[in-house]
Amino acid sequence: MNAILASVIAMLLFPGSWQINPEKVVEVTLTEWKIDMPTTLPPGLYNFKITNAGHHSHTLKIKNKGLERKLQKDLKPGETSELKVNLKPGVYRVNCPIGFGPFGHSDKGMELQLNVGKITR
């Protein structure tokens, strides 16, 4: 098959496959009361694929000095959503900011520290 035609078909079948700087996908699973995801990542553009595998509503927030990103809507049990974040080197706090104080999901365990390291070659 003609190489140009083949690449056009690939672009149609896999939109995004031609992007120069494709984002990396990170799977995140939310349950009671845990956020399951990597705690160290290299810097880069990420698409966090967040699934609520629990029995309560959950959400996800990623924050440090210069950045704060949160899902627009809380996830009901079984729902999945995506959050695109450009992570620069640094330490981030990742949590589920639902509830308050001792009833807050963070305090129950839905909180972790994400370390984004420098690129080492």
Residue 19 or 72 with smaller CB distance to Cu ion: 72
Residue 23 or 74 with smaller CB distance to Cu ion: 74
Residue 61 lies near Cu ion (rule: CB under 5 A): no
Binding-site member from 41, 53, 85, 98 for Cu ion (CB under 5 A): 98
- Only one of the segments 10-18, 73-81, 85-93, 106-114 lies at the binding site for Cu ion (rule: CB under 5 A); that segment is 106-114
Q: Rounded to whole angstroms, how far apart are CA atoms 19 and 118? A: 23
Q: Rounded to whole angstroms, how far apart are CA atoms 118 and 114? A: 13
Binding-site member from 62, 83, 96, 116 for Cu ion (CB under 5 A): 96
- Only one of the segments 8-16, 43-51, 69-77, 90-98 lies at the binding site for Cu ion (rule: CB under 5 A); that segment is 90-98
Closest CA to 73 of 92, 54, 53, 50: 50
Residues 6+ apart with CB under 8 A from 103: none
Assigned token pair, 61: 């927030």
Binding-site member from 28, 58, 87, 114 for Cu ion (CB under 5 A): 58
Q: Rounded to whole angstroms, how far apart are CA atoms 73 and 5? A: 41
Residues that bind Cu ion (CB under 5 A): 58, 96, 98, 105, 110
